[in-house]
Amino acid sequence: MTADTPPTAALIVIGNEILSGRTQDANVKYIAGRLSAMGIPLREVRVVPDEEAAIIKAVNTLRARETYVFTTGGIGPTHDDITAASIGAAFGLPVLRHPEAERVMRDAYGDDITEVRLRMASMPEGAALIENPASGAPGFRVGSVFVLAGVPSIMRAMFESLAPGLTGGPPILSRAVTATVRESEVAEALSAIQDRWPDVDLGSYPWARGGQIGTTLVARGTDKAVLEAVVTDLCALIDGLGLDATIQEGGG
Amino acid sequence: MTADTPPTAALIVIGNEILSGRTQDANVKYIAGRLSAMGIPLREVRVVPDEEAAIIKAVNTLRARETYVFTTGGIGPTHDDITAASIGAAFGLPVLRHPEAERVMRDAYGDDITEVRLRMASMPEGAALIENPASGAPGFRVGSVFVLAGVPSIMRAMFESLAPGLTGGPPILSRAVTATVRESEVAEALSAIQDRWPDVDLGSYPWARGGQIGTTLVARGTDKAVLEAVVTDLCALIDGLGLDATIQEGGG
């Protein structure tokens, strides 16, 4: 990564419970939003099963392509927690009891420490710990791969521990213009606005709620002045149709 | 696919709005649960940006590997709707106005039909239509790839239109045993239960809510009698710790 090539990221969600439809993922949106705000576009998410071969392949494909790779899930103490072993295999590293992780866990658990809990201190050799302020066992980093818990509250605590160590790019800003207009009524003008502002990512998202139909037009980019100009164009478009526009601003 | 090789599936979510963290995905859980109930395990989900190269790569990788591939998103009438063109490119097929799709849309829209709306009738040559009872424009299928809308209500209507045409395997059943127990207290016994029943996928999911901590143990498989035997083992494990277990059953 140089000053000319902004950082990018990928996320691997390890979890049979997502692929079976049992559990609604609650981690993608959080990580995606935090990375956008840090100027690190999330380029791909993969949800893979709790299988070593699938995890290895996803990790090695995505770490070859993106600056940072995050994983969630599979770092507990039970038989289905195979993420640490799989990351070790992906890097060709032995998986050993990490001395500092053991110390952290003995401090956190006190007399409640057990051999079963200490399974969570098994990590690829040379892994750097990711602090876990929410519960006892830490996450870890190997190379560009950050290994986080799947439980959302723990994942978030770990993410915030590691975030200051990431090298971000220019924060990605967004503006959203919402109106009770159908996409087909604005499609042509929108295409012209996109052509006028090629450095802005302009998305169109139809919605239906409470008997109303409408569209949210989202402009994303790193230049605040350009975004404001795009919003002016979008509002003029909606105003020209005799409708009202609502403007929202935010990261991501 | 033969009688000996059960069908599998992959899902490609096409959407910058998911990768930016703006939107919470609401389609993965629905499709995953419906496919599980039909005996078609979902093997991978990929979320990719609204970029032709990324879509082509995901489509061609996953259709070479799984029986069925589903995509959601990017089939509206605006400039950022590039799914039909990308699917055409993935298959090496020209993208043309589909005569039957045009007829369906003219019937649905009546006098409100416009050239902009008819963009949604552009599909790879030879595509089969997927009926859309929720709104006007149909989805489509090319080979083993089913192309659905991103708006959840429309996606669901399209999925239910195509579902009867899928060849399923034995439905995947599940039983969940929940108790206020920590994972580390059951990890060893759970591993022994998994070894005893190798054809069952046994997952352990810790949770924290309302000041309580607990674990949900999920057994998934196609043999109902075996699942009941696993539940008996799991309940005996929880009972042996002097705790109460709650049993849930369901598909997926």
As a whole number, mean pLDDT of residues B69-97 equals 97
Give the distance from residue A86's alpha carbon to the nearest chain B alpha carbon, in angstroms.
17
Res. B222 pLDDT band, cuts 50 70 90: very high
What pLDDT band is residue B3 in, cutting at 50, 70 and 90?
low
Cβ of residue B229 closer than 8 Å to a chain A Cβ: no
Supply the pLDDT for residue B203: 96
> Residues B86, B181: one domain?
no
Residue A72 contacts B where some CB pair is shorter than 8 Å: no
Residue A1 belongs to a domain? no
**Are β-strands A68-72 and A9-14 bridged in parallel, bridged antiparallel, or unpaired?**
parallel
- Residue A208 has its nearest CB partner, among B54, B153, B202, at B153
Residue B235 and residue B245: Cα distance in Å, rounded?
A: 6
Q: Which residue of B has its CA nearest to A78?
A: B187
φ/ψ (deg, to 5) at B209: -155, 140
**In chain B, which residues have their Cβ closer than 8 Å to the Cβ of A77?**
183-184, 187
pLDDT given for residue A211 in this prediction:
86
Find the closest chain A residue to B194 by CA distance: A79
A80 contact residues in B (CB cutoff 8 A): 194, 202-204
Closest CA to A141 of A119, A156, A163: A163
CB A180 within 8 Å of CB A209: no
In a domain, A188, yes or no: yes
Neighbours of B182 (CB within 10 A): 18
Q: Do B151 and A207 touch (CB under 8 A)?
A: yes
Q: Does A226 touch chain B (CB under 8 A)?
A: no
Of the candidates B29, B77, B190, the beta carbon closest to that of A21 is on: B29
| Residues B189, B134 share a domain | no
Which of B11, B20, B46 is the best substitution to test chain A (most A C-beta atoms within 10 A)? B20
Residue B208 in contact with partner chain A when CB distance is under 8 A = yes
Residue B85, phi then psi, degrees to nearest 5: -60, -40
Residues A112 and A40 both lie in one domain: yes
Question: Is the separation of the CB atoms in A122 and A53 below 8 Å?
Answer: no
Residue B155 in domain = yes
Inter-chain residue contact B32 with A41, CB threshold 8 Å: no
Q: Are residues A194 and A216 in the same domain?
A: yes
pLDDT at residue A3, as a whole number: 52
Indicate if B117 and B66 belong to the same structural domain. Answer: yes
Which of A109, A136, A165 terminates a domain? The answer is: A165
Q: Are residues A70 and A100 in the same domain?
A: yes
- Same structural domain, A186 and A85: no
B132 in a domain, yes or no?
Answer: yes
A55, A83 Cβ separation under 8 angstroms: yes
SS3 assignment, position A83: helix
pLDDT of B134 reads: 87
Taking only residues 139 to 178 of chain A, the set having a beta carbon closer than 8 angstroms to any beta carbon of chain B reads 151, 153, 172, 174, 176
Give the mutation candidate from A23, A56, A78 for the B interface (greatest B CB count, under 10 A). A78
For chain B, say whether A212 makes contact (Cβ under 8 Å): no
Between CA A241 and CA A186 the distance in angstroms is 9
Radius of gyration of the CA atoms of chain A, in A: 22
Mean pLDDT taken over chain B: 95
Amino acid of residue B72: T
Q: A161 and A189 in one domain?
A: no
B224/B119 same-domain check: no
Report the residue of chain A nearest B45, measured CA to CA: A47
Residue of B nearest to A153 (CA): B208
Mark which of B141, B165, B189 sits at the end of a domain.
B165
DSSP secondary structure, B67-99, as one string: SEEEEES--SSSTT--HHHHHHHHHT--EEE-H
pLDDT at B4: 65
Is A20 an interface residue toward B (CB < 8 Å)?
yes
Same domain, yes or no: A125 and A216: no
* Closest residue by Cα to residue A131 from A123, A139, A121: A139
CATH code where residue A208 lies: 3.30.70.260
| A167-194 burial code (b ≥16 CB/10 A, e <16) | eebeebbbbbbbbebbbbbbbbbbbebb
Last residue in a domain, options A165, A197, A213: A165
Closest C-alpha to A95, from A106, A104, A86: A86
| Residue A203 · residue A217 · CB < 8 Å | yes
Q: At B135, is the pLDDT very low, low, confident or very high (cuts 50, 70, 90)?
A: confident
- Residue B152's domain is classified under what CATH number? 3.40.980.10
CA distance A213 to B76: 14
Looking at the fold, whether A40 and A94 belong to one and the same domain comes out as yes
Residue A4 lies in a domain: no
Helix (H, G, I), strand (E, B) or coil at A53: helix
Mean pLDDT for back-to-back runs of 10 residues, chain A (252 residues) = 77 97 96 96 98 98 98 96 98 98 95 95 98 92 98 96 97 95 95 97 91 94 96 97 91 54
Residue of chain A nearest B28, judged by CA positions: A21
- The residue written with tokens 């959080």 in the block is A30
Q: Using a CB cutoff of 8 Å and minimum separation of 24, what contacts does A91-98 make?
A: A91/A124, A91/A142, A91/A143, A91/A145, A93/A124, A93/A125, A93/A126, A93/A142, A94/A124, A94/A125, A95/A122, A95/A123, A95/A124, A95/A125, A96/A122, A96/A123, A96/A125, A97/A121, A97/A122, A98/A122, A98/A123, A98/A127, A98/A129, A98/A140
Residues in chain A: 252
**Element (H or E) spanning A118, and its range?**
helix A115-118
Q: Which domain holds residue B236?
A: 173-251
Q: Give the number of A-B residue pairs with CB atoms closer than 8 Å.
A: 189
Residues A139 and A101: their CA atoms lie apart, in Å, by 9
Residue B1 lies in a domain: no
Bigger pLDDT: A135 vs B76: B76
Q: What pLDDT, on a 0 to 100 scale, did the predictor assign at position B1?
A: 47
Q: Is there a single domain that holds both residue A94 and residue A67?
A: yes
In a domain? residue B219: yes
For residue B224, pLDDT over 50 is answered with: yes
Domain count, chain A: 2
What is the average pLDDT across B217-238?
A: 96
Q: Does residue A33 fall inside a structural domain?
A: yes
